[in-house]
Structure 1
Amino acid sequence: MTGPWWQDEPIVTNRRQSLPHTDAKLPTGSDVWKIFKALVGGSSFDIPLPVQLSLPIDELQRRAEELEFSELLDQAAQRPKGSMERLLLVAAFAQSAFQAVGKLKAMVPIMGETYELVLPEKKMRLLVETTYLNIKENRVVNSWMAEGEHWKLEGEDEPSVRFWGTSVEIHLNWIDALTFDDGDVFTWKKMTTGSTVIHPMVSIVPAYRGTITVHNEAFDQSATLQFKDSSSWKSMTGRRGHKNGIKGWVEKGGQRLEKPMLSGSWTDKVVADMPDGSHWTVFEIHPLPLGPNRLGLNLHSMQLNEIGQELEAKLPPMDTRRRLDMRALERGDYVQAAKVADLLDKRWREREKQYTEETGATSLPPLFFELREPDGLSGSQKKIPRYRYKGGYWEARKIGDWSSIPQDVRGLFAE
């Protein structure tokens, strides 16, 4: 009988504490303004953004960013089933997803791409894959499955972006379903719309408006977090020059409770005002690393692209870390990054065209996820993700055999 997976996974030490040095300069506020003026009314697929506006992180890694505070779920697992404390911790985790959002956008993943995050020291691992991507429909779906010692998190997003004058409108279309070992289930959807403000003399400033409601239907209770747009202009040199308020409350049996109440900021901390009069800090961001930090990334995000020899030997050939455009972005080589990004886009489009012409499908199939219902993608999101992990990834990784992956997929990120 074998033990849990984390017992056989070596802990990586001496992780990097900063990104590779580069003399490349970020685009100025004026540069950003000129670019976005040309995009008004367009969608994220209609007009590809220049690589200068992208982080060396793509949308799959954004899902990994959201697990920076997975310890909140570990803490929640130790609280009694159906308890108010567990509900508040899950709500704190749900809102923590927004703290990593920086002033630049993430790169767009391509069909066949995967990303894993394996942290044995936290007894947590994640697999995320682009499960549907169709330019004609202007649709992309990313799906993920993460697991800790006493919990499993499934989720998906189908984001869309439009550009409107001085703002970018972001429709997240996002759902998470969290299951604890004791059978307690929580679901939530991220806010339908967020916006990013652009001005010729300042940076891109993320500002979210709307609510997240975390449901626990078995106990007829929920926690709602309302995001307040209280952003102010800030320069390119600072990551958190503005405040982003949150207030929240709990409902039981459809009735709003006087306490607990939640308040704070998704870029700082969130405090629960408990019924007994105590104050409980349920979430607090980690400080930014010391030293040069031209992209304003926290340490967790900085390490997402790191790939040592031991990890490289285990990763599949289509893992995001193998994207040469991403490596070029880290070096600040925007010319090479743009060249490789165009090549990857061409390869993907050729694969899609051939597959759809031969099969009549609207998208290439995912490798490690499958629809819960054969026609489930056409309907709207319900209370659970439409795609679910079907297995095979961790087994192939353990023995180092990716031969079951089609050759054209394995060659996606080749030079």
Structure 2
Amino acid sequence: MACLDNRIVFNEQPLLSKEQSGQGQVIQQSAEIMDEPLIGAFRCSDARSSSTEQGCLEEAHASAKCSMTTGQAHHRTDQMTTTSSGALPIEDWLKAEPAHQRREALPPPQQPAPTAINMWSLIKDMVGKGELSRVATPVQFLEPLSELQQRCEDMEFSELLDQAAAVERCSLERLLLVTAFAVSAYSGVKRTCKPFNALLGETYELACPEKGFRFISEKVQHEPTTINRVLAEGRGWTFELEDELHTRFTGTAVELAPIVLLQVAFSDGDTYRWGKAMTSINNVIVGRIHLEHKGSWRLRGVQSGLIACMKFHAATMLSSKSKLHEVSGVVEKDGVALKGVKLRGKWDRELHADLPDGSSRLLWRVNPPAADPSRYCMTPWVLRLNDLTPQLAGRLPHTDTRLRPDVRCLELGIYDQAAVHHKQMEEGQAKKLARIAKPGATHEPRWFERVGGCGKIGEEYLFRYRGGYWEACAAGAFAAQETQIERE
């Protein structure tokens, strides 16, 4: 089967000049409409991307092999997590990765906020029609993040995984810490604005040496269902996520029901898997919009047989304020609950564990709020996710979310340009999908590959990491790719 070029080019020119810092300014875009828009379009250039990038990748792998033969190989013990290519272990990457200058607020908006539009006129025809994830949403209802960046919100409390990696394998202590990490992922998801839908082939990276991990995500499939794939690596652990998000409008609320498989694998061979609860955005037509998580999931220690059974309690009309956002759980072994072990807390605040000896232990507590949470009520962690730090200048691939002009314009408060760019990107996505729908054409993800003979999503992973992203980054492949495009 012929494979169409899967590169995404958000802009023929870089969104930020090399002299500009992470805040940056949006460069004036051409208003000319082209047969195949360069802003926000997937471009089918059969030969443009391969030669330079492949040469840099080969150089990166050759360099890695050379370093291995000079004596670094013996440092790769079972206490280190490596990429599947084995070329750039996390410990070596942490030594080389520079510290990033993180922002504490969004830039002030450059335009007044757009006037409100009638929500009912927008979504009344969607009642009962099921899937909403592919519906084009006006930028007034979006926040300046893509769904790939939103997946990175799970990593805010990655230190819990560092602590879990340091305790005994298959222990109750490790299970409790991984469960706390799983619950902490809900704490930042209280905002009611929708993230931008990722485009097919879009990627996102977060290099976070100050917290000791690196993160990469990619939208790997759009049809028949959309699938996003995530891989994060830290000291002694690997976190993976693959999800298929289903949304529907009930008439009063928007319900988000993910089919998702999350996994943490520690370097000592201990693995944990779990899912996610349903999220409901209530009162979208009348009243105060608020969000809640509800339902239950089980976090299973594959080798230990220990299972944390967690329940998110839905609020009712009679619920007191003290009962809002409650989460509770028990730990089971062979289908029998462990005596004296209980989990309790609030998903937006903290999680405690009651232990068999009668003591109670605080497993996790939310970080203080941002001094300037912005008009989107973002936490300090979320504020950094779309930041173009100076350390990223010239190093990101063209597929990275940070280079999307519609997301960038919305963050800068240039609402009219954000709407124009967003429309162009949706049109470019439609053209890309039409091309790969033709017989003999397909889309191959760049950094993940489909696993043959797999089961259903949410039960086993349908895609796995190919390897090579961080090696290409270190070798300057993406910067060389940008230079090639500028010359052409």
Instruction: Tell me if 1:109 matches 2:188.
Output: no
CA contact (8 A) 2:294 2:312 kept: yes
Could you tell me which of 350, 371, 375 is aligned with 1:294?
375
Instruction: Tell me if 1:386 matches 2:386.
Output: no
- What is residue 237 of structure 1 aligned with on the other side? none
- What is residue 367 of structure 1 aligned with on the other side? 446
- What is residue 414 of structure 2 aligned with on the other side? 333
- What is residue 313 of structure 1 aligned with on the other side? 394
CA contact (8 A) 1:194 1:207 kept: yes
- What is residue 274 of structure 2 aligned with on the other side? 188
- What is residue 35 of structure 1 aligned with on the other side? 122
CA distance in 2, matches of 1:336, 1:269: 40
Residue 58 to residue 232, structure 1, CA distance change in 2 (3 Å): farther
Residue 405 to residue 109, structure 1, CA distance change in 2 (3 Å): farther
Q: 1:351 Cα deviation (Å)? A: 2.3
Q: TM-score, normalised by structure 1?
A: 0.88
Structure 2 residues not aligned, in runs of 5+: 1-66, 73-90
Which amino acid in the other structure matches residue 18 of structure 1? A
Task: For 1:75-154, list aligned pairs within 5 A.
Answer: 75-101=163-189, 102-134=191-223, 137=224, 139-154=225-240
- What is residue 173 of structure 1 aligned with on the other side? 259
* Greater shift in the superposed pair: 164-173 or 339-348: 339-348
CA contact (8 A) 2:396 2:479 kept: no
Task: For 1:336-347, list aligned pairs within 5 A.
Answer: 336-347=417-428
The CA deviation string for residues 335-360 of structure 1, in whole angstroms up to 9 with x for no partner, is 21121112112222222322332525
By relative contact order (CA 8 Å, sep 6+), the higher-ranking structure is 2
CA contact (8 A) 2:260 2:275 kept: yes
- What is residue 4 of structure 1 aligned with on the other side? 92
- What is residue 355 of structure 1 aligned with on the other side? 436
Rg: which structure is higher?
2
Q: 1:33 Cα deviation (Å)? A: 4.8
- What is residue 294 of structure 2 aligned with on the other side? 209
* Greater shift in the superposed pair: 350-359 or 387-396: 350-359
Which amino acid in the other structure matches residue 100 of structure 1? G
Could you tell me which of 358, 368, 371 is aligned with 1:277?
358
CA distance in 2, matches of 1:273, 1:130: 40
- What is residue 150 of structure 2 aligned with on the other side? 62
Residue 87 to residue 45, structure 1, CA distance change in 2 (3 Å): closer
RMSD: 2.7
Q: 1:371 Cα deviation (Å)? A: 1.4
Could you tell me which of 152, 163, 169 is aligned with 2:249?
163
% same residue: 33
CA contact (8 A) 1:154 1:385 kept: no
Structure 1 residues not aligned, in runs of 5+: 234-239
Instruction: Tell me if 1:267 matches 2:356.
Output: no
SS in 2 for 1:155: strand
Residue 258 to residue 113, structure 1, CA distance change in 2 (3 Å): same
Q: How many residues align?
A: 393
Q: 1:404 Cα deviation (Å)? A: 9.9
Q: TM-score, normalised by structure 2?
A: 0.75
Q: 1:37 Cα deviation (Å)? A: 3.1
